[in-house]
Chain A
Amino acid sequence: KQEVTQIPAALSVPEGENLVLNCSFTDSAIYNLQWFRQDPGKGLTSLLLIQSSQREQTSGRLNASLDKSSGRSTLYIAASQPGDSATYLCAVRPAGGSSNTGKLIFGQGTTLQVKP
């Protein structure tokens, strides 16, 4: 059974710092891994999608890496800003079944606070 773990559960940093969020998963048989952002009481915003054949993806100040064999992904946020404060969730799509479906297994999330 696939399990996804995120460390740390919470993180508080001063504005401007670079930071890394960690995600690990127990079964390397995945189609892809996605990082999301969730603001309090809101839905999920997709940040980055990494296919199983890829090593990393970048979008602006965000960089996500994937090491499928070791079951790990990291989300790197450069030059953090107060507006980055949110909960960050990683989720994997298990391989098997129809590849056109979107069933995801989520980690518990890392709640980030960036202090001005």
Chain B
Amino acid sequence: GAVVSQHPSRVICKSGTSVKIECRSLDFQATTMFWYRQFPKQSLMLMATSNEGSKATYEQGVEKDKFLINHASLTLSTLTVTSAHPEDSSFYICSASRQDRQHTEAFFGQGTRLTVV
């Protein structure tokens, strides 16, 4: 299957600092990537859709100024958690699908465990 790589896998940061998470599609191009968030013992909730070359689309209730998304190339999307607070501590995971097929399978990165202290 296709490979989606996410980095870092774990990060601990101080409250008030910003953290950048990278999501790369290693063997295919993805015009669209998705960022999800998962709280302990809960399912994945879509945060935003990252669109290559244009603005991201955020789900209701997600602050676009806090969760900055940049999709500068067909293989890389970044999520920056700005001015992080303890309540932002969570598991963040990205996904991408091949753009050249209909009804394609979604592939996920390994996830990033963010802890804000």
Residues in chain A within 8 A of chain B (CB atoms): 31-32, 34, 36, 41-46, 49, 51-52, 89, 91, 93, 98-109
Contacts and interface: CB of A to CB of B under 8 A. Distances in A.
Interface of B: 1, 6, 31-32, 34, 42-46, 49, 91, 93, 95-111, 113
A43 B34 contact: no
B97 A101 contact: yes
Contacts of B34: 102-104
A43 B6 contact: yes
Contacts, number: 75
B103 A99 contact: yes
Nearest to B110: A43
B106 A93 contact: yes
A114 B36 CA distance: 28
B96 A102 contact: yes
Contact of A108 (B32, B42, B100, B111): B42
A100 B42 contact: no
A32 B103 contact: yes
Contacts of A98: 32
